[in-house]
C-alpha cells in the first residue's frame, strides 16, 4: 500500500524495447516528478484545521437537516389538520427557536420531546460509495510493482497466440477454455478479460460475465487466484476456463423450444433456430484490448459466463462429460448452473462495455470441437466486453 516504492529496484530495462514505457520506469519517473511536493510532511496545524472544519460542516448539515425535517413536518401537519391547527407554535417548538413549545406540540408532533430539541425527521443518509461495475476482489496481486518484479515486460497481443475452445457440453452448459502461448518472454496478469459479441449487437445486454465461485454450481475448477501474475518464457503459456450457461427463456420464448422436445440438449434445440441474437462468439482480450480467436456459442435468451483466473496449463483439469448427454425435460433453452445467484439475469445485471470497441475486429474460424458450436466466427456489429463481476 505504500506509495514510496522501496522495492522498485527490479529488473533492468531494455531501452530498445519498442513496446512503450516500461511500467517500472514510468512508476519511478512519476515518483521522481513529484518527490519535492510535500517533502516537508503534512503541515503542523493541518489536522486540527481539518477537524475544526469538519465539525463546523457537520453542525451546518445538522441544522439544514433539521430545517428540512421541520418543513416536512409542517407540510404533513398542515395537510392533516388543515386550518384547524396553528403551525407556527409547532415549528418554533420543534426547532427550539423559542415560543411556546407546549402549545399543541405534544399532540401534533410526537417526535418533539418535552425539551424541544431537534430529534425529528432526518433526511436519508447519503448513499454509500457506489460500486463500480465488474469489480473483482481487491486481493489481486497484480500491482505494477508485482509485474515489475517479474523482471520482464508485460505481454502484449503481439507476444501471445491465444484461442478459445469449447470442450464439453454438460447439462446444457458449455465448458471451454482459452489457451495462450507466448512467443517471447513476458509477464501476464489476471484476471482475464473476455469479450462476447453477436451479430445483432445485443450481447452487451444479454450476456453477463462473472467470476467463477465455488458456489455458482458450475463444474469449473476452483482456481486459487484472482489476479495472478505469470511470467512466461517463449513457448510457455497459460490457460483459463469458462462456462457458458444459456439463460432460461421466459414462457413466451420457451414455447418454441418446448415443441422441439426430445432433442439431445436444450442448447442444441436453441441452436436449431440460430439467429443473429442467439449466435455468440467469445474471445479473450489480450491486455484488455486485442481479441483472440473466438469460440462460437449459442443461447436463445442470453447467457451467463463464468470464468476462472489464468493459471499454468495443466494445473487444473478441464470439465469432462461423464456420460452421454441426457435429455432433460425442460421447457427452457438450458438451465443455468444450480445455485446460481438469482441476480444474474441479464435484465438486472449487464456486462460493462469497454471504452472502445474498435478493437473488435477478430476473424477466423471457430476452433471448437463441440457439436454445440457451429458456424463460423462472427464479427460483431457491437460487442460486450466484460470482466467478471463479483457476485457478492
Partner 1 sequence: MATDVDVTTDLLTETYQRHYSSLLRLAALLLDDVASCEDVVQEAFIRVHAARARVREADKLLAYLRQTVVNLSRSTLRRRLLGLKLLPKPMPDAASAEEGAYAALEKDALIQALRGLQRRQREVLVLRYFSDMTEAQVAAALGLSIGSVKAYGSRGIDALRARLEEQ
Residues found near partner 1 in the complex (CB under 8 A): 1-5, 20-21, 23, 26-27, 29-31, 33-44, 46-47, 49-51, 53-54, 57-58, 128-138, 140-145, 189, 191, 193, 227, 285, 287-289, 352, 354-356, 385-387
The nearest distance, CB 127 to partner 1, in angstroms, is: 12
Q: Which is nearer to partner 1, 267 or 292 (CB)?
A: 292
Task: Pick between residue 287 and residue 379 the one whose CB is nearest to partner 1.
Answer: 287
46 or 106: whose CB is closer to partner 1?
Answer: 46
Cβ-based nearer residue to partner 1, 189 or 340: 189
β-pairing, 303-307 vs 207-211, is parallel
Output the CA–CA distances (angstroms, integers) from residue 55 to 16, 42, 96, in the order listed.
56, 20, 21
Sign of the alpha-carbon dihedral angle for 216, 217, 219, 221:
positive
**Chain center to CA of 4:** 30
| Least distance (Å) between residue 284 CB and partner 1 | 11
212 contacts 319 by C-beta, under 8 angstroms:
no
Tell me the closest approach of the beta carbon of residue 29 to partner 1, in angstroms.
5
- 362 in Cβ contact with 273 (< 8 Å): no
Alpha-carbon Rg for the chain, nearest whole angstrom, is 29
Give the whole-angstrom CA distance, residue 364 versus residue 286: 16
Rounded least distance, CB 2 to partner 1, Å? 8
How far, rounded to the nearest angstrom, does the alpha carbon of residue 98 sit from its chain's CA centroid? Answer: 54
Closer CB to partner 1, 168 or 189, in the complex: 189
- Closest CB to partner 1 among 298 and 357? 357
CB 142 to partner 1: min, Å: 5
The DSSP-derived string for 188-218 is EESS-EEEEEETTS-HHHHEEEEE--GGG--
Q: Rounded to the nearest 5°, which phi and psi values hold at 262? A: 100, -5
What's the farthest any 2 CA atoms get from each other in the chain?
Answer: 87
In the bound state with partner 1, the residue whose beta carbon lies nearer, of 116 and 190, is 190
CB 191 → partner 1: shortest distance, Å? Answer: 6
CA atoms within 13 A on the CB side of 238: 26
Minimum Å distance from CB 51 to partner 1?
6
203 close to 163: Cβ distance less than 8 angstroms: no
Distance CA 274, CA 366 (A): 16
Q: Which is nearer to partner 1, 103 or 145 (CB)?
A: 145
* Minimum distance, C-beta of residue 342 to partner 1, in the bound complex (Å): 22
Smallest distance from partner 1 to CB 309, Å: 12
Q: How far is the CB of 368 from partner 1 (least distance, A)?
A: 23
Q: Which residue's CB is nearer to partner 1, number 199 or number 384?
A: 384
For the chain, how many residues are written?
Answer: 392
Which alpha helices (H) appear in 153-310, and where do they start and end?
Answer: 203-206, 251-258, 266-272
Cβ nearer to partner 1, comparing 17 with 86 = 17
Closest by CA to 307, choosing from 383, 203, 195, is 195
Calpha distance 17→21 (Å, rounded): 8
Amino acid at each position: 500500500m505504500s506509495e514510496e516504492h522501496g522495492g522498485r529496484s527490479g529488473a533492468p530495462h531494455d531501452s530498445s524495447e519498442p513496446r512503450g514505457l516500461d511500467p517500472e520506469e514510468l512508476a519511478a519517473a512519476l515518483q521522481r516528478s513529484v518527490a519535492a511536493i510535500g517533502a516537508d510532511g503534512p503541515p503542523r496545524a493541518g489536522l486540527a484545521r481539518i477537524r475544526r472544519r469538519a465539525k463546523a460542516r457537520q453542525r451546518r448539515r445538522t441544522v439544514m437537516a433539521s430545517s428540512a425535517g421541520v418543513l416536512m413536518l409542517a407540510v404533513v401537519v398542515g395537510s392533516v389538520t388543515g386550518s384547524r391547527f396553528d403551525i407556527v407554535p409547532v415549528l418554533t417548538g420543534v426547532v427550539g427557536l423559542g415560543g411556546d413549545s407546549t402549545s399543541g406540540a405534544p399532540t401534533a408532533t410526537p417526535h418533539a420531546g418535552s425539551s424541544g430539541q431537534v430529534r425529528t425527521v432526518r433526511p436519508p443518509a447519503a448513499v454509500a460509495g457506489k460500486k463500480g461495475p465488474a469489480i473483482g476482489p481487491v486481493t489481486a496481486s497484480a500491482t505494477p510493482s508485482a509485474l515489475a518484479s517479474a523482471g520482464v515486460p508485460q505481454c502484449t497481443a503481439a507476444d501471445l497466440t491465444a484461442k478459445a475452445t469449447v470442450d464439453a457440453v454438460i447439462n446444457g452448459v458449455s465448458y471451454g477454455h482459452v489457451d495462450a502461448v507466448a512467443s517471447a518472454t513476458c509477464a501476464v496478469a489476471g484476471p482475464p478479460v473476455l469479450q462476447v459479441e453477436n451479430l445483432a449487437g445485443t450481447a452487451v445486454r444479454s450476456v453477463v460475465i462473472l467470476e467463477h465461485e465455488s458456489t455458482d454450481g458450475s463444474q469449473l475448477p476452483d482456481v486459487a487466484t484472482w489476479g495472478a501474475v505469470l511470467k512466461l518464457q517463449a513457448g510457455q503459456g497459460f490457460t483459463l476456463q469458462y462456462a457458458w450457461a444459456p439463460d432460461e427463456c421466459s414462457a413466451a420464448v420457451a414455447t418454441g423450444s418446448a415443441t422441439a422436445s426430445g432433442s439431445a440438449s436444450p442448447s442444441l434445440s436453441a441452436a436449431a433456430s440460430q439467429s443473429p441474437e442467439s449466435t455468440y462468439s467469445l474471445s479473450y482480450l489480450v491486455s484488455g484490448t486485442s481479441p483472440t480467436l473466438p469460440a462460437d456459442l449459442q443461447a436463445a435468451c442470453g447467457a451467463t459466463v463464468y470464468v476462472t483466473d489464468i493459471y499454468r496449463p495443466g494445473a487444473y483439469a478441464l470439465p469432462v462429460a461423464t456420460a452421454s448427454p441426457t435429455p432433460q425435460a425442460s421447457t427452457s433453452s438450458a438451465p443455468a448452473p444450480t445455485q446460481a445467484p438469482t441476480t444474474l439475469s441479464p435484465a438486472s445485471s449487464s456486462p460493462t462495455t469497454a471504452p472502445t470497441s474498435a478493437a473488435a475486429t477478430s476473424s477466423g474460424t471457430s476452433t471448437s470441437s463441440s457439436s454445440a458450436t457451429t458456424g463460423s466466427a462472427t464479427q460483431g456489429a457491437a460487442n460486450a466486453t466484460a470482466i467478471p463481476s463479483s457476485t457478492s
